[in-house]
Chain A
């Protein structure tokens, strides 16, 4: 019997959270080994476990995978969440990359110097309501189907719903003009695997608090 996938990262969202969402939504149980100190990270590096000396790293199917996108692509393909052909895949990839871009802005916000934070938040809000969410609302409106691509749940829906939760955390009024996205969020959240992941006690990680931010900075040797 194959072992469960094992995730190596610090105990926080960062670049591993979208991997947790995807695995959980696919109904895949996984283990986590948290990096709690700089020494923990050094050990992984010295073991030769990290191809480019970086995490995320996921042990799965006898491999030690690194690079967030490579990991997500593998999981999506394996669990049939990547469309039915290369054209659907291209659409899914295009949507996913846009989602990743906005998610990245939100993810790195805690690292922003205090005097630049307000400007950054304003930019995020603007991008959310003017560049990204309108695209996905329009996609759903144009075909009237339940999911973004091919009338079937794919990774694009999961990544988007994850993003919508972060947007809501920032400011729930940002979702006000996007009824179809709100409906998608509800629909996907009610899928049994996702519903389970959204409950307390699941591997889903909370927003970064001051203490966790300091710990992450120490581990990754950031300023």
Chain B
């Protein structure tokens, strides 16, 4: 019997959240070890399981993987969410890289001083509305299909939903000009595995609060 994948990260979104989303959407049960103290983190580093001394880290299929994008690509390929050929894969990569950039900007903003943080988050919401969401609205319009690539559910769809929800937390009306994205959001949210993940009590993490920022700062010393 295969063991469940095990995730090692802080108790919060950060760079691990996209990985949680992907596993959950693929219907994969996973365990988590939350790093809450500097001692715990140092132990992981000393054990030699963090290749470059950093998290996220995931134990899966007999491997110890670090580096967010390496983990995401592995999971996407393993669970058949990466397109049927190289041309579909590259489109999924382009879309996923774009949305991941957006979400990492939000994750990093949490660690800035209050005035800078507000400015960063406003900029992210603006970029979402002017640079990213129009692209996806157009993609959906041009092919008229339910999913971004190849008329099939993929990693790109999961990331886009995650990004939409994250930006809506900053600005609830961010999708007001994007009719097809609104329909997309509803459609993808209703996929059973994702619907389950969106319910209270799932492994989805809340937005970063001051406690989370404090814990991470004290462990990573910055």
Contact = CB atoms under 8 A, between A and B. Distances in A.
A73 interface: yes
Nearest to B102: A52
A94 interface: yes
Interface stretch (A2-10, A84-92, A179-187): A84-92
Nearest to A73: B93
B86 A70 contact: no
Contacts of B74: 86, 89-90, 93
Interface stretch (A20-28, A59-67, A112-120, A206-214): A59-67
B52 A132 contact: yes
B47 interface: no
Secondary structure at the B interface, as helix, strand, loop or mixed, is helix
A73 B89 contact: yes
Interface string A45-86: 000000111000000010101110110011001100000001
- Residue picked from A63, A73, A93, A94, most chain B C-beta under 10 Å: A94
Contacts, number: 74
Given A51-B135, A70-B97, A87-B63, A93 B90 contact: no
Contact of A135 (B51, B63, B73, B87): B51
Interface residues of A, number: 27
A73 B70 CA distance: 11
Contact of B69 (A65, A66, A86, A97): A97
Interface in A151-165: none
B65 A65 contact: no
Contacts of A87: 61, 63
Interface in B60-94: 61, 63, 65-71, 73-74, 77-78, 86-87, 89-90, 93-94
Contact of B131 (A53, A65, A94, A131): A53
B132 interface: yes
B144 interface: no
A203 interface: no
Contacts of A86: 74, 77-78
B67 A52 contact: no
Contacts of B192: none
Interface of B: 51-53, 61, 63, 65-71, 73-74, 77-78, 86-87, 89-90, 93-94, 97-98, 131-132, 135
* Top 5 A-B residue pairs of the complex, sorted by shortest distance between their CB atoms: A93-B70, A70-B93, A97-B67, A67-B97, A94-B70
